[in-house]
Amino acid sequence: MASMFLCFTLLFINICTADGYECYSSTRCLFNSTELQDIEFIRSYYYNKIEHVRFSSDVGRFVGYTEFGVKNAEMWNNNPGQLAAMRAQKETYCQHNIDLWYANVLSKSVKPSVRLHSTMAPGCHHPAMLVCSVYDFYPKQIKVSWLRNGQETTSDITSTEKFANGDWLYQVHSHLEYMPRSGEKISCMVEHASLDEPLIINWVPPMPETERLIIVGAIGLILGLILFVAGVIYRRKSGDTSLAHRFGEKQAEDWNKDPAALSLWRPQKEMFFKPDSELCFTNVLPKSVMPLARLHSMTPPGGRHPALALCRVYDFFPNQSKTRTDAGSQ
């Protein structure tokens, strides 16, 4: 019950103070090196986003900026123990952490990743614009420049400020407006402490839409042909192992094990085929059909005789026939 009451009380306090008053402090260390003379320790106290009192190691005392802050600064400055504790923070807090930062972070460098792409921005003086985006580099100092046919250019270039990612890394973007020229080579050059030599990224214009569609269509046609040929080869190799054949073998095996099925099919020879055979012998096989004959000449290619007579006989039954040729006395 007590736990439930505490949860309800905290919820009530949060709701009531959502738009209420806020008091907080921040601690900063400003430095250029690990030496004490290059370090400044700052402790600031805020009330509703307004800084009302600050301690700076360069000043050595509290300074008030509002009526409330002046009163607090006067009270704290009259406390020798509190002043001594704040003055010691420059060495115990700032210098200690700065040594760690220099050893593990500030002396390190991270190579940038570069992306070169085109874009269209409204209000440009030229019909084309390139953007060189440099991401995730450290330290902050970096130089991004543009090369046209190997020569550095400084006109029609705009660059953004170096943005902090919030993870000690930075990014920057440089824009180049240009007039496209046939055969011109445009590059983005990045110089940074993490690089042994400048990183140069060359601009490769995108392929026209028609050529891209033709290539995609050709690739699709080739893939379809490969799949078709593979399917034909697979069907030929599978042969008797096809699903239908395996099903037929299984069905025949099951029927051969069934005496009733065998007894049903064995009499079919006499019950079905014999009557049909007798009808065929009575109405078809004893009959005969008079043949049609056609005699014509042709010249055989490469023959030993200048002419060739051809006798064609059509539509006769039964298939026993005899053909004789009478050529004068021959």
Longest pairwise C-alpha distance within the chain: 157
Domain assignment present for 247: no
Domain assignment present for 196: yes
Return the pLDDT at 167.
82
Residue count of the chain:
330
Q: Which pTM was predicted?
A: 0.42
Residues whose CB is less than 8 angstroms from the CB of residue 43 and which lie 6 or more positions away in sequence, other chains included: 25, 26, 27, 54, 55, 86, 89
Q: Specify the residue for token string 């008091």.
A: 23
- Say yes or no: 98 and 127 in one domain: no
Return the pLDDT at 280.
60
Within the chain, where are the H helices?
2-16, 67-77, 80-89, 96-101, 209-238, 243-256, 259-265, 268, 274-283
Return the pLDDT at 17.
46
Number of domains into which the chain is organized: 3
Q: CA–CA distance from 115 to each of 171, 177, 241, 288 (Å)?
A: 11, 17, 55, 90
- Say yes or no: 181 and 121 in one domain: yes
Return the pLDDT at 48.
86
Helix axes 67-77, 80-89, angle to 10 degrees: 100
Return the pLDDT at 8.
34
Instruction: Check residue 38 and report its DSSP letter.
Output: G
Domain assignment present for 163: yes
Return the pLDDT at 197.
94
Domain assignment present for 254: no
Q: Specify the residue for token string 């270039």.
A: 157
Domain assignment present for 298: no
The phi-psi region of residue 270 (left if phi > 0; otherwise alpha if psi is between -120 and 50; otherwise beta) is alpha
Per-residue pLDDT of the chain (330 residues; tens, 9 = 90+): 333 333 333 333 333 344 567 888 999 999 888 888 899 999 999 988 899 999 999 999 999 999 999 999 999 999 999 999 999 999 999 998 988 888 877 778 899 999 998 887 666 566 788 999 999 999 899 999 999 998 998 888 889 899 998 888 999 999 998 887 878 899 999 999 999 999 999 988 766 656 667 777 778 888 888 887 887 777 666 654 555 566 667 777 777 777 876 777 777 667 666 666 666 666 656 667 777 777 767 666 655 666 667 777 777 777 776 767 665 544
- Say yes or no: 48 and 66 in one domain: yes
- Please work out, in degrees rounded to the nearest 5, the angle formed at the alpha carbon of residue 23 by the alpha carbons of 17 and 24: 125
- Say yes or no: 196 and 214 in one domain: no
The phi-psi region of residue 297 (left if phi > 0; otherwise alpha if psi is between -120 and 50; otherwise beta) is beta
- Say yes or no: 98 and 147 in one domain: no
* Contact present, 78 and 70 (Cβ < 8 Å): no
